[in-house]
Amino acid sequence: MRPTWVSVDLAAVDHNVSAFRRLVGDAEVCAVVKADGYGHGAPAVAAAAIEAGATWLAVALVEEASELRAEGISEPVLVLSEPRPDEMADVVALGGVRPTLYTEAGIEACAAAVVTDGAIDFPVHLKVDTGMHRVGVHCDKAVTAARRILKVGLSLEGVFSHCSNADVPEDPFTDIQVERFDNVLSDLASAGIQPRLVHLANTAATLTRPDTYRSLVRVGIGVYGVSPGPAVDAICRDMGLRQAMTVRSEITHLQVVGPGEGVGYGQHWVSERTTRLGTVPMGYADGLARIWGLGGEALVRGRRCPLRGAVSMDALVVEVDDEMELGDEVVLLGSQDNDEISASEVAKAVGLIPWEVLCSLSHRPPRRYSSKSSSRG
């Protein structure tokens, strides 16, 4: 069997969720586990987050919600984007899964599915577009949409929006979004509509803007112990967030090349001196960016070793010293001994963002889960 896998420390998930619970006080924590838990494995992460006190889960797709239910997870799940009209019956049948609504077609389809199913007081959430302009009802149409939701017999459990720039604390656009959102809430209240749940904060806003907490916060990248941006790295360190993922393999071949010898497709790296190289059986078919090999590093025996040459489909090459041997563990992401390669570091090296680094990992390397002792407080 190939000595390559992704290790996920569920105790780190527990620790991180607990840290966010302490931070937000009375607000509930919703753990975002879309995209297969950002590549970590949604069911396992969801269970760990719930154990740590998260009371909600959020996904992007109806099938992601279905997977959680199939794994026996019964907590409330919010589908963050409006399901297609022909998916509404599936949402209702799953039980406890809340659809996000923001179009007339979506509202009507959901109501029809509820009537067919015979459900009573079916709860939904209304998303308001406060300026990110992906999805959501425009602010000036929010009251109309909310009234329509109630008129067709649905229960408006929640109203929410999403902060686009909160990872840069001094960016004034967050103030604009908060003001727009508060105006919508005021308009709804004037119309006699006061949903039980109000949520605006993502991970970045939870870290930087306590005024966005409201009754619930949605924590995504923070659940996995990864900072949402350089401007909040220090806050994440102060909170003690722990990266949950380790990507590891081993050295399976060793060789020495002389000066002027190139490595990999395109010969993008050429040795300037006699160099010892180790081959690692992991490549872009496993989700590693080809350019990871042109600026990234790996940990071997607790020491940083530069990657050499473009990553191939099934292999990459790392420069090693004379002490390193066949079978030595190679960590491309995560901790080894007293050092750590963070998702943020990798993202910077390859020109991506941490979300892409995590979510790009394929399912070819199996996930292995551990639950080391937690420091939940």
> Could you list the active site residues?
34, 265
Cβ-Cβ contacts under 8 Å for 372 (sequence gap 6 or more): 9, 11
CB 126 within 8 A of CB 102: yes
State the pairing for strand pair 245-250/56-59. unpaired
The CA distance from 5 to 248, in Å, is 6
CB 222 within 8 A of CB 20: yes
Q: In the chain, which residue ranges form alpha helices assigned H by DSSP?
A: 10-24, 34-38, 42-51, 62-70, 88-94, 104-117, 142-151, 173-190, 203-208, 233-239, 343-350, 354-359
Tokens found for residue 354: 């941490």
Of 275, 274, 267, the C-alpha closest to 293 is 267
Tokens found for residue 159: 């109203």
CB 66 within 8 A of CB 72: no
- Token pair 């993502």 in the structure block, residue: 202
- Give pairs for 79-85: CB < 8 Å, separation 24+: 80/32, 80/34, 80/127, 81/127, 81/135, 82/106, 82/127, 82/135, 85/109
> Following DSSP, what letter does each residue of 292-359 receive, concatenated?
GGGT-EEEETTEEEEB-S---SS-EEEE--TT--TT-EEEEEEEETTEEE-HHHHHHHHT--HHHHHH
